[in-house]
């Protein structure tokens, strides 16, 4: 088969894939006048699946993967109903950043190891930028939100998609690590020594939730809203694994070196660091919620085994990556009163059950 024929087949496949994805996203937007539906967050997993098909097609036919992925992301961006889309793909030695801003012309920041570099976007124009010899972990900052992106050997593909709905911003992404409010340009940063001399709070949510948490992003928002309402400083993430990322890998580099404490008056130590937290024994049970109230022994959604990775067993999932409240889906939960691995991996519940979540501080 000639290369031209191969590209013809790709465009046929890619067009069908993109039509499906765009239709799915349109349903989200139309429904969002009442609430943001789970499909917005599940869209990200669909994009990841379809991008893997594109990569597999390119590998099987010995085609240029960067060309294929650039065409794929360009077509998707220009037809999507999202406000802002950013994609990072390529191998460890050379990565490509592509993006699209529907309603504005703003710059984003990319740190590939030599400090922040400004990448300017123009409204309604698809943008491509290439970076050579990046660090293993790069940071992309858009709309005052910093995303940690870990580059692995082989082909990488990451996405960040956002949309404002009724005055609130919603984001779906497969970037590893938590995305927290970035320091505005020109603002003062805490010295690294002060950061490392502190501790990080883990609290049990006072609110109960079914398995539909709005994906990892929705769960993280819940944690940060609870912390803010209780005047707790810092940024928080939900202790949850999904089908694409383990809970332990969502903690930014350097944060795992700090001691974890519970939210009681004494700030009692739970674990000396992340490794200590995940060695199947913690010093004291978590128990306390964001208000400092002792909840004693109560179940919390985790989807996570004792070593911080996704709990995997036959027919046991993560409530469709925390987007389902169906009786027919299940997920692993922990027990806030336990000090063995049961704090994160204690039992299984149907996704229509109400449980708490753990929230872990991951920044000042």
**Segments of the chain with pLDDT less than 70:** 1-46, 48, 165-168, 176-197, 314-315
What lies within 8 Å, CB to CB, of 118 at 6+ separation is: 107, 108, 109
Give residue 1's pLDDT: 32
Q: What is the pLDDT of residues 239-293, one digit of tens each?
A: 999 988 999 999 987 888 999 999 999 999 999 999 999 999 999 999 999 999 9
Q: What span, in angstroms and rounded, lies between the C-alpha atoms of 278 and 282?
A: 8
Give residue 315's pLDDT: 60
Count other Cβ atoms within 10 Å, centred on residue 294: 14
Hey, which CATH number is domain 194-363, 3.10.100.10, 3.40.50.460, 3.30.830.10, 1.10.1060.10? 3.10.100.10
Query: Beta partners for 138?
Result: 149
Q: Give the residue carrying structure tokens 């660091």.
A: 273
Give residue 165's pLDDT: 67
Instruction: Pull the structure tokens for residue 198.
Output: 């502190």
Assess contact for 207 and 192: CB atoms under 8 A: no
Q: What is the pLDDT of residues 29-70, one digit of tens each?
A: 332 333 444 445 556 666 767 777 888 888 888 888 888 989
Q: What span, in angstroms and rounded, lies between the C-alpha atoms of 213 and 316?
A: 17
Q: What separation in angstroms does the CA of 196 have from each of 136, 190, 192?
A: 22, 10, 6
Give residue 82's pLDDT: 82
CATH 3.10.100.10 residue ranges in the chain?
194-363
Give residue 26's pLDDT: 29
Give residue 277's pLDDT: 96
Give residue 282's pLDDT: 96
Assess contact for 361 and 234: CB atoms under 8 A: yes
């Amino acid at each position: 088969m000639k290369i031209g024929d191969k590209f013809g087949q790709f465009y046929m496949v890619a067009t069908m894939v993109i039509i499906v994805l765009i239709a799915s996203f349109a349903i989200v937007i139309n429904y969002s006048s009442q609430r943001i539906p789970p499909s917005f967050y599940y869209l990200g997993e669909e994009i990841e699946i379809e991008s893997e098909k594109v990569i597999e097609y390119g590998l099987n036919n010995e085609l240029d993967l960067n060309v294929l992925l650039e065409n794929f992301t360009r077509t998707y961006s220009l037809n999507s109903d999202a406000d802002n889309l950013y994609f990072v793909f390529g191998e460890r030695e050379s990565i490509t950043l592509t993006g699209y801003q529907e309603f504005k012309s703003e710059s984003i920041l990319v740190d590939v190891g030599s400090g922040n570099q400004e990448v300017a976007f123009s409204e309604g124009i698809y943008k491509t930028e290439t970076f050579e010899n990046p660090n293993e972990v790069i940071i992309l900052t858009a709309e005052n939100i910093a995303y940690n992106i870990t580059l692995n050997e082989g082909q990488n593909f990451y996405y960040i998609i956002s949309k404002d709905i009724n005055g609130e911003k919603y984001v779906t992404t497969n970037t590893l690590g938590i995305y927290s409010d970035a320091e505005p340009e020109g603002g003062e940063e805490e010295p690294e020594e002060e950061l490392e001399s502190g501790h990080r709070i883990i609290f049990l949510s006072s609110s109960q939730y079914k398995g539909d948490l709005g994906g990892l992003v929705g769960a993280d928002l819940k944690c940060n809203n609870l912390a803010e309402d209780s005047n707790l400083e810092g940024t928080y993430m939900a202790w949850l694994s999904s089908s694409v990322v383990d809970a332990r890998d969502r903690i930014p580099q350097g944060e795992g070196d700090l001691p974890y404490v519970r939210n009681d008056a004494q700030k009692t130590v739970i674990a000396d660091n992340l490794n200590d937290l995940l060695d199947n024994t913690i010093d004291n049970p978590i128990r306390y919620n964001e208000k400092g109230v002792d909840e004693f022994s109560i179940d919390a959604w985790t989807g996570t085994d004792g070593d911080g990775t996704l709990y995997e067993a036959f027919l046991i999932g993560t409530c469709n990556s925390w987007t389902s409240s169906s009786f027919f889906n299940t997920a692993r939960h922990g027990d806030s009163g336990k000090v063995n691995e049961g704090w994160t991996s204690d039992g299984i519940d149907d996704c229509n059950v109400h449980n708490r979540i753990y929230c872990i501080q991951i920044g000042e």
